[in-house]
Amino acid sequence: MPHFRRKRGCKISDNLEKLMPSRRQILSLLAAGPMLAPISAYSTAPAQRLLSPPCADEDDLTPSQTEGPYFTPNSPEKQDFTSDAPGGERITLAGYVLRQDCRPVTKALVELWHCDENGNYDNDGYKLRGHQFSDAEGRWWFNTVVPGLYPGRTRHFHVKVQRPGARILTTQLYFPREPGNVVDSIFHEALVLDVTSGGGGGKFGRFDFVVQ
Domains of the chain, by residue range, sit at 3-210
In CATH, 3-210 is 3.40.1400.10: no
The continuous run of DSSP H or E covering 97 comes out as strand 90-98
Q: pTM for this one?
A: 0.76
- Identify the CA nearest to 137 among candidates 168, 94, 185, 175: 94
Phi, psi for residue 50 in degrees, rounded to 5: -80, 150
Residue 91 near residue 146 (C-beta atoms within 8 A):
yes
pLDDT (tens, 9 = 90+) of the chain, 212 residues, equals 333 333 223 333 333 333 333 333 333 333 333 233 334 333 332 223 333 345 665 578 999 999 999 999 999 999 999 999 999 999 999 999 999 999 999 999 999 999 999 999 999 999 999 999 999 999 999 999 999 999 999 999 999 999 999 999 999 999 999 999 999 999 999 999 999 987 667 899 999 999 99
Degrees (nearest 5) of the Cα angle 110, 142, 11? 80
